[in-house]
Amino acid sequence: MRDVAIIGVGTTHFGELWERSLRDLAAEAALKAIDDAGVDRIESIWAGCMTGGLFNGQEHIGALVADQIGCNPVPAARIESACASGGMALRAGWFEVASGASDIVMAMGVEKMNDVSGARATYALAAASDRDYEAFHGATFPGLYALIAVDHMHRFGTTREQLADVAVKNHNHGQHNEYAQFRMPITREQVISSTKVADPLNILDCSPITDGASAVILCPLDDAAKFTKNAPIKIAGIAACTDSLALHEREDLSEFRATAEAAQKAYDMAKCTHRDIDVAEVHDCFTIAEICVTEALGFFERGQGGPAASKGITSHGGKIPINTSGGLKSKGHPVGATGIAQMYALVNQLRGTMGKMQVPNAKRALAQNMGGTGASAVVTVLEKV
């Protein structure tokens, strides 16, 4: 297997992009990544998209992307793993380059979520849960994550204030991200007093409905200099795992086992541990998700993710900065694109081009992208070469 590098990245703005279509967003991110990489051809495309059919009435996303950026007749396919679709697209592209099947591959993600009503968006997102045992009976993702939060609070003493501090931190980071959906700081008091969604989660604990796309260009690490002047960023470790689709089937409601298993495999592949990570982007679809994920990744012991956020340990300037892009909470969460958007942020961190959110001397970064209530997860470790 060959070592694989990311040599180009591109993204759109994230938000309620009423005048932009699914194809417009996909093409913009893809062409930006091609331009950033400086390549003159693409040999294959893997496109992450959770549910273009329900949001936009559009399936066959791979062919759509290839056509829109003038890459026919290259092979192109859509990858779906709920909100982990982008991470899985990256993994598919990594396999293709690592195996020697192709030399220049695009992995991208796109979602256009605001073209339907709130009720329709809720229905589409619920497709990532267990339809028979959860969605059919009225369980929504805020409700399911509320169950996770209640369990974590009961067992470990996590507080309402600690949940709020995750949102405050990520908005503080996201105000410096020119592509973020919500570029305004918020306070703990605003989070706690915001509209209740599913107790104990309020509206400011929840990631938004978002339109957007992101893309990366992959090539063999040894050949990177042939294609681009950018310093290559090595994919040092990448792994994916799954867990029970329905939350009630799990032995531990607030343990993200798929994330923990994927993380260990990615650490082993990268020959590192969580202690070697300088900066991370994690899947904070809800504030409790970030707390549980940071524990599953090994950054903190069970029950210590909440206190870490309140103490500033996961803030920019802290011991392990988390979501310096603003995360899903502030940057936005176009579900199929999120895993690739994490790559955009981390590649810029390792290039040293993250502006006010730059982590000094960052050499190794981690991304964690998951679907549903963590039933699928992808963990990627990047290294500055």
Active site residues: 83, 333
**Up-side HSE of residue 57: CA atoms within 13 Å toward CB?**
3
Residue 157 CA to residue 273 CA, distance in Å, equals: 27
Structure tokens at 136: 């059919």
Q: Dihedrals φ, ψ of 89, to 5°?
A: -65, -40
**Cα angle 62-66-72, degrees, rounded to a multiple of 5:** 125
- C-alpha dihedral (287, 353, 112, 24), degrees to nearest 10: 180
* Half-sphere exposure for 154 (CA within 13 Å, toward CB): 10
- Where do the H-state alpha helices sit in 194-279? 224-227, 257-270
323-to-282, 290, 309 alpha-carbon distances in Å = 6, 9, 12
Place of tokens 């290039």: 351
Instruction: Identify the residue whose tokens are 């963590």.
Output: 374
Handedness of CA 381, 36, 331, 372 (dihedral sign): negative
Paired sense of beta strands 233-242 and 211-220, if any: unpaired
Closest residue by Cα to residue 372 from 83, 78, 80, 50: 83
